[in-house]
Amino acid sequence: MVAVSRERLAAASEMLRKGATLLREPCPKCGGVQIKYRGEVSCIVCGLAKDESAATLQLEAKLPSLKEIIETKALEVAFALRDERSIERQKDLLDLLERYIELLLKLSGK
């Protein structure tokens, strides 16, 4: 549970007095109460403004490319493994590959 800071609460009640409205939709970041004032939506609890929440969404949208990077790396390791003759090196590469695969599984949320 995130505590609402005194300043935010004061700012929120000030905005409400000036005609701001509380939204039914909870904050996408913390689930707190969102307030709409002059067309701008911000969260009373964490102060997340609409712009910032858009930035958060963009960050989430970047996850697939991180996945792509790891996929590429995993493939590189797989290719290196194919050409590797040293048993010791193969063990290292397999360890690495295992980690990449674990990461990929985590990123795909399964």
Sites of contact with Zn ion (CB under 5 A)? 27, 29-30, 32, 43, 45-46, 48
Residues 6+ apart with CB under 8 A from 57: 28
Q: How far is the CB of 30 from Zn ion (least distance, A)?
A: 3
Q: How far is the CB of 62 from Zn ion (least distance, A)?
A: 21
- Residue 42: is it exposed, middle or buried by C-beta count within 10 angstroms (0-12/13-18/19+)? buried
Choose between 50 and 73: whose C-beta lies nearer to Zn ion.
50
Choose between 23 and 101: whose C-beta lies nearer to Zn ion.
23
With contact defined as beta carbons under 8 Å apart, do 34 and 26 qualify?
yes
Place of tokens 């399964």: 110
Choose between 42 and 77: whose C-beta lies nearer to Zn ion.
42
Q: How far is the CB of 5 from Zn ion (least distance, A)?
A: 12
